[in-house]
Amino acid sequence: MFMCVLILLAMQGTVKEASTKLGNWWKEVTEMQTEVKKFQTEANDKAVDELVHLERVKDLLVELKKQVPVEQPPKHWTYTGEEGPEHWAELDPAFKTCGTLSPHVRAVFLCGVI
C-alpha cells in the first residue's frame, strides 16, 4: 500500500507538470489564434483597399477613353453615282484635292490616298 501512495504521489507530480504544460500550450494556441485572426482582418482590409483602388483606376480609364477621339473609318467612295469622282472632295476632308483635279485624273489616282 505504501508503494501505491508513492506511485500516486509521483504521478501527481507528473500530472501537475503535464497540466501546467497543457495550460501553457493552450495559452500559446490561443495567442496564435488571435494573431491569425488579426492577420486575416488586416489581409481582408488590404484586399478591400486594393479593390477600391482598382475600381477607381477603372473609372479613370473609362473617363480617359471617353476623352480620346475615336478614329473614324475612311468614307466609302465609288467610281459612279453620289460617291463617284465628282463627289470625292465632299466625302472626306482628306479628299479635298480631288475637287481641283480634272475628272480623268480623279478616276486614275485616288485623291488623298496616293
User: Which grid coordinates belong to 38?
Assistant: 488579426
Angle, CA 47 vertex, CA 51 and CA 36 arms, to 5°: 170
In a domain, 1, yes or no: no
Q: 91 and 112 share a domain?
A: yes
Predicted structure pTM score? 0.40
Q: 78 and 113 share a domain?
A: yes
Distance in angstroms (rounded) separating the CA atoms of residues 85 and 102: 10
| Dmax (CA) of the chain | 132
> What is the extent of the structural domain holding 42?
16-71
- Give the residues of the chain that fall short of pLDDT 50: 114
In a domain, 80, yes or no: yes
- Report the pLDDT value the prediction gives residue 59, as an integer from 0 to 100: 93
In a domain, 47, yes or no: yes
- Report the pLDDT value the prediction gives residue 45, as an integer from 0 to 100: 93
In a domain, 11, yes or no: no
- Report the pLDDT value the prediction gives residue 70, as an integer from 0 to 100: 74
- Report the pLDDT value the prediction gives residue 100, as an integer from 0 to 100: 73
